[in-house]
Amino acid sequence: MSNPLDQVFSALADPTRRAILAMLLEDDMAVTDVAEPFSMSLAAVSKHLCVLAEAGLITQEKRGRVKWCKLEPDALRAASVWMQGFGQFEAVDLDGLERFLAAELDDPGPDDPASSLSV
């Protein structure tokens, strides 16, 4: 599973991990605090955080005995660009989508996602 797209999509495939990402939108959080709302063990949440970190979706920084988790929204870019190749969904927030797409254009866009099967 070296492909970064593999990692990002499969990280996003778990609802617990998506919930964690949504929580981190508000603020950086310590591992224990991330785990608090969930009914699973701390170790399980810690593993989820590792998966997110390896996908690049978060970073973790240890200060003292506390490890702080920080969202890294840029990691979603490649995946988002890939998906954009599949049709022009009218987004809910058109202005937001326009800004979003404009930002994406600075990237080496996948000119024709179908031409190369290099997924």
Residues in contact with DNA by CB under 7 A are 1, 10, 13-14, 16, 30-33, 39-44, 46-51, 60, 63-68, 110
Q: Rule CB under 8 A: is residue 59 a binding residue for a copy of itself? A: no
Q: How many residues does the chain have?
A: 119
| Residue 87 φ/ψ region, left for φ over 0, alpha for ψ in the -120 to 50 degree band, beta for the rest | left
Report how far apart, in Å, the C-alpha atoms of 72 and of each of 25, 52, 56, 57, 117 are. Answer: 9, 10, 7, 5, 27
In the bound state with DNA, the residue whose beta carbon lies nearer, of 67 and 77, is 67
Q: Rule CB under 8 A: is residue 39 a binding residue for a copy of itself? A: yes
Quick one: CA dihedral 44, 46, 47, 52, positive or negative?
Answer: positive
Residues that bind a copy of itself (CB under 8 A): 3, 5-6, 9-10, 12-16, 18-19, 21-23, 25-26, 37-40, 71, 73-74, 76-77, 79-94, 96-101, 103-104, 109-115, 117-119
